[in-house]
Amino acid sequence: MKYGLFFGIVRFFCPYYNMGDKMKLKRAVFFLIILFVVLRTASIKESIPVFKNSDGIKLPVLMYHSVSDKVSKTGKYVITPKSFENDIKYLKDHGYNTVSAKQLIKYVYLGEDLPENPVVLTFDDGMYNNMEYVLPILEKYDYCAVFSIVGSYTDEYTENNIVNPDYSYLRWSDICTISENPRIEFGNHSYAFHSISKNRYGTKKNKNESLLDYINAFYQDTEKLQSEFLSNCNFKPVIYTYPFGSYSKESLRVLKKMGFLVTFSCFEGVNTITHDADCLFMLKRYNRDGRISTSQFFSKLKL
């Protein structure tokens, strides 16, 4: 039956086909092979993106942390919902469009377009108030953001099941629910490296630590949270957000080998996005200090 189908295809496409002539049959088969190769080669060429010469696209990234409805709690890493909404209004009024990490990846690797005046919003640590206050505002203005969680915090609040926007962190059930919202992407913010102590400053390699020990410790910490994402919510992030922005160059090699495609630092500045995959690593960000107004913040950034 399968040979009948094959010869039926030969008969349909090949002018040399003749069941009574073996030589012509061989020519028919040869013709089909050549035809297949030509068509396959053309298909591959068409699938390879052709990029236009470009100096790159300017991309500011804004870094938020906690959000509180109590003005008395505002600080370097705490902003009120009202101030956050004012930021979003400012961006909207000035023609900025939020983009996701997925859009950046598609631009870099596939050549897909980005909207004009792209900007990325990031929220570090995985505070519960990001779900309480931030998500509704993003939905209202049709904006998107990256939430990066600390695994040990999420495990703790999943176990004690405490929900309080003033201090608690997202539980795994919250993360699974939010992950179904196309406006939110999740990043790995380490499992237990979000701390400063004598033993470790974020993800930075210790002075007296061997390179092998550091790589193993960093990998184990990162993979622990990746595994928990997979077991709890059935996905693994491709975004890594450095705790405190501290890092060692060896960590970048580990992340690339693990399949991460985007990393966020705490260095300030505007990024340039090109079609070079390395442009998505160590993206610079501006921390949003809650003690200043929206106009002061964006004036500082010259946006």
pLDDT tens for residues 257-281? 999 999 999 999 999 999 999 999 9
Dihedrals phi, psi of 60, to nearest 5 degrees: -80, 145
The pLDDT of residue 182 is 96
- Distance, CA of 103 to CA of 106 (rounded, Å): 5
Of the candidates 186, 185, 176, 112, the residue with the CA atom closest to the CA atom of residue 149: 186
Whether 42 and 104 share a structural domain: no
Domain membership flag for residue 89:
yes
Domain membership flag for residue 207:
yes
Domain membership flag for residue 115:
yes
Average the pLDDT over 198-217 and give the result. Answer: 85
Whether 77 and 198 share a structural domain: yes
pLDDT tens for residues 159-202? 999 999 999 999 999 999 999 999 999 999 999 988 777 677 67
Q: Are 7 and 26 in contact (CB under 8 A)?
A: no
Whether 138 and 254 share a structural domain: yes
Whether 292 and 163 share a structural domain: yes
Average the pLDDT over 6-33 and give the result. Answer: 42
176: domain CATH number is: 3.20.20.370
Q: Is 204 or 294 the better-scoring residue by pLDDT?
A: 294
Domain membership flag for residue 91:
yes
Domain membership flag for residue 26:
yes
Whether 76 and 15 share a structural domain: no
Whether 39 and 138 share a structural domain: no
Whether 84 and 14 share a structural domain: no
Domain membership flag for residue 234:
yes
Whether 74 and 182 share a structural domain: yes
Q: Is the pLDDT of residue 248 over 60?
A: yes
The pLDDT of residue 265 is 95
Q: Please count the CA atoms within 13 angstroms of the CA of 17 that sit on its side-chain side.
A: 12
Whether 196 and 287 share a structural domain: yes
Domain membership flag for residue 52:
no
Residue span of the structural domain in which 34 resides: 2-47
Q: Is the pLDDT of residue 6 over 80?
A: no
Whether 115 and 227 share a structural domain: yes
For residue 178, how many other CB atoms are within 10 A of its CB? 18
Q: Is the pLDDT of residue 22 over 70?
A: no
The pLDDT of residue 204 is 83
Whether 38 and 139 share a structural domain: no
Average the pLDDT over 246-256 and give the result. Answer: 89
Model-level pTM? 0.81
- Distance, CA of 183 to CA of 115 (rounded, Å): 16
Q: How many domains does the chain have?
A: 2
Average the pLDDT over 203-219 and give the result. Answer: 90
Whether 40 and 73 share a structural domain: no
- In single-letter form, the type of residue at position 193 comes to F
- In single-letter form, the type of residue at position 94 comes to H
Q: Is the pLDDT of residue 12 over 60?
A: no
